[in-house]
Amino acid sequence: MGVIRSILRQPINSCPGHCSSLDLESLPMEACINFRVICEKEGVCSVDVWVKIFVLFVLGVVAACARPNIVYLLADDLGYGDLSCYGQKKFKTPNIDRLALEGMKFTNHYSGNTVCTPSRAVLMTGVHSGKCYIRGNVWDEKLAAIPEELATLPEVLKKAGYRTGAFGKWGLGVTNGSQLERPSGQGFDEFVGWKSQVIAHTYYPTSYVRNGEEVMLEKGTFVNPIINQAALDFMRKSVEAKKPFFCYIPTAIPHAAMHAPKELHEKWRKVFPEHDEKIGRYGAGPGEETPDVVNPIAGFAAMMEHLDNHVGEILALLEELGVDENTVVMFASDNGAHREGGHDPKFWDSTGGLRGMKRDMHEGGIRTPMLVRWPGRIKKGAVTNHLSGFHDILPTVSELVGEKVPEQNTGISFMPTLFGQGDQKKHEYLLVEFHQGGRRGGPVPKERMHSQALRFGPWKIFHRKGQELELFHLEDDPFEERDLAKDPKFQEILTQGKRYLEEGSQPL
């Protein structure tokens, strides 16, 4: 499609004046129709030009059809078992489940890392965490900024003519900080959300940031409706402007304080009154209030219902705007289930039985639900076990919109899997590496390398620094209960895994 767009951008030299070129960055089909109307009126076009117009019109239709809107919803610390379409039994997520029923569900998809910042860095750059510039959260959030030399997902989409917006928790710098920290410095036309990652621990912040400007809030304002509405407004404005859009919604739900709309919280307190004596507590940095939560069990269910309702609002809006069939909606989580702010992952079976949770390299820390819906293009109710991760989003989206994949990319497009067509190239291995506080060029953390997870075929290596490698056969042992590293039968597998670890991990 890149070739097609370059043809579309060529000027028509034989048509003078206003007809000298076409602005096909906007919706091509519409532009061609407008162009034809103008030319007819002026009566200055030669036969040669009409042929060109026809070709442009046909190519324009193709280009328009091939440029779907993209909505990517990123939950925060939502575990593999936290959605009813992934087995959650204690509450339902009917709107999110629609993405599975009407699209594709991934069962082998990995977050970029096991905590927020490095996971988002992988999503935005397509560089997996063994090679990514940042591999842990950092206290000094300006160190989280994506380096200038790396292209980003929204930058690729801007090149393809998209309007780009991000709404929620950015996690890659202070959103009214330096240019590289701001979403606008990384390719987003619009941003509405929390000022910083730490402040996003509370849903009652003192302020939020709108396009680089800090907006103060009245004490006690629940900030989510402001952010959610901004995302909906962005989609509506994009459709009105006849531009394809990329709407990135990194919600802070269900992390970390169990804050939810009051009416939903009250509703769930009645369902789980036996937990009313529990109090959920969390902090959000200096000067920020993080109100305690009575009954954080009810708080969690209420947050999840609130998030599910937002997905319902988005799907209803896409239908209302007539773009439902030309919009890809994706949903994933930045890392596994947490146990902060009074959340009880055991009570909810938030990991779906997977071992471990946020901050570790067992499956519960890194495997995420992943849903992709595109009506008419992706088979309804499809399920795939294709091994994939956040670094595959950049190449997949690049291919989807016909743009060149940035050189830094380490992922593989999963478009053949989505459409059930063509050969799906597979990862030889998939590596996730976590260094708390680790960033290239930043302060040197005490633990240079904390832990690694390596997937290859049915195998999984778990490695914690200073300890021996552990080997699991995930198809036979999905909950990582039997370490086979010492079994003489599997020494070759282990040696192969060590080679992949060496190849996949670059020093910070």
**Rule CB under 5 A: which residues touch Ca ion?**
76-77, 116, 334-335
Of 76 and 190, CB closest to Ca ion: 76
126-140 CB burial, b ≥16 within 10 A, e <16: bbbbbbbbbbbbbee
Of 103 and 168, CB closest to Ca ion: 168
SS3 152: coil
Query: Shortest approach of Ca ion to residue 340 CB, angstroms?
Result: 10
Return the residue nearest Ca ion (CB atom).
Answer: 116
Strands 388-389 and 109-110: parallel
**What DSSP character marks residue 186?**
G
Query: Shortest approach of Ca ion to residue 115 CB, angstroms?
Result: 6
Q: How many CA atoms lie within 13 A of 184 on its CB side?
A: 15
Query: Quick check: 79 and 173 in contact, CB under 8 A?
Result: no
Query: Shortest approach of Ca ion to residue 252 CB, angstroms?
Result: 9
Of 24 and 116, CB closest to Ca ion: 116
Query: Quick check: 327 and 244 in contact, CB under 8 A?
Result: no
Of 251 and 335, CB closest to Ca ion: 335
Helices 393-401, 116-125: axis angle to 10 degrees equals 30
Q: Which amino acid is at 135?
A: R
Of 103 and 193, CB closest to Ca ion: 193
What is the C-alpha to C-alpha distance for residues 120 and 394, in angstroms, rounded to an integer?
Answer: 12
Query: Quick check: 455 and 449 in contact, CB under 8 A?
Result: no
Of 77 and 305, CB closest to Ca ion: 77
Query: Shortest approach of Ca ion to residue 401 CB, angstroms?
Result: 27
Query: Shortest approach of Ca ion to residue 118 CB, angstroms?
Result: 10
Of 77 and 392, CB closest to Ca ion: 77
Query: Shortest approach of Ca ion to residue 194 CB, angstroms?
Result: 13
What is the C-alpha to C-alpha distance for residues 416 and 50, in angstroms, rounded to an integer?
Answer: 37
Q: Which amino acid is at 457?
A: G
Query: Shortest approach of Ca ion to residue 341 CB, angstroms?
Result: 12
Strands 104-106 and 109-110: unpaired
